[in-house]
Amino acid sequence: MSNIRVASRYAKSLLELSVEKNALEAVMGDMKGLLSIAEQNRELGLALNSPIVTYDKKFNILKGLLGKGAHHITMSFFDLVTRKNRSNVLITTAQEFQKQYNEYNGIQVAEVTVTLPLTEDLRKEIIEIVKEISGLQKIELVEKIDKSLIGGFVLKVNDKLWDDSLSGKLRKARMKFAQRYFVKLY
């Protein structure tokens, strides 16, 4: 079974348990914390994937990183997964949990890439566009800055990508020129 499928099933089970125990927000905070740490520290992913590191050490690493602030459901889940030697899917499970959490709460996550930080008016316009595309009212906008866009923006909502950047338009023009057959006149 693929790691993504396993992670999706683990995330679903953890979501259902945390909803049942009224601990959804606390568990979500723990998952965000794990993802944040994993993003900043590559060694965490390597340790969780390593067959040499024992499950006790892996669990102690997780317990040490998330500290005493982590919810007992989260720590029990980490303990169970590491004991079953499936710690290699913990980070993917946290990502899947975040997706399922957003779906459960009706939150649409959209990613906008721009060359400069968005003004409040532009942010509101983009949120309205995302509401129209997704049909959801709760929007979480993730802003990224990329100077190579030159100008404009790239908006990603689920599997839809709207590239209205200057570099995207130049790339499209370059492709059109490459497809044309020019005839040399004498």
Among 6-10, 160-164, 174-178, the range with the most confident prediction by mean pLDDT is 6-10
The confidence score (pLDDT) of residue 185 equals: 66
pLDDT digits over 98-108, tens only? Answer: 999 999 999 99
Closest-CA residue to 93 (of 109, 79, 81): 81
Assess contact for 114 and 162: CB atoms under 8 A.
no
The number of residues making up the chain comes to 186
Dihedral-angle region of residue 152 (phi above 0 means left; psi in -120 to 50 means alpha; beta otherwise)? left
pLDDT digits over 106-142, tens only? Answer: 999 999 998 888 889 989 988 998 898 888 899 999 9
The confidence score (pLDDT) of residue 138 equals: 92
**Is pTM, for the whole model, over 0.85?**
no
Please tell me the distance from the alpha carbon of residue 165 to that of residue 63, in angstroms, as a whole number: 44
- Supply 128's token pair: 């309205």
| DSSP line for 69-108 | GS-HHHHHHHHHHHHTT-GGGHHHHHHHHHHHHHHHHTEE
- List, as own/partner pairs, every contact residues 80-86 make where C-beta atoms lie below 8 angstroms and the sequence separation is at least 24, other chains included: 81/10, 82/55, 82/58, 83/55, 83/59, 85/55, 86/6, 86/10
Q: Is the pLDDT of residue 69 over 80?
A: yes
The residue with tokens 């959801």 is 136
Mean pLDDT of 77-89: 93
| pLDDT confidence bin for 33, thresholds 50/70/90 | very high
Closest-CA residue to 11 (of 100, 75, 78): 100
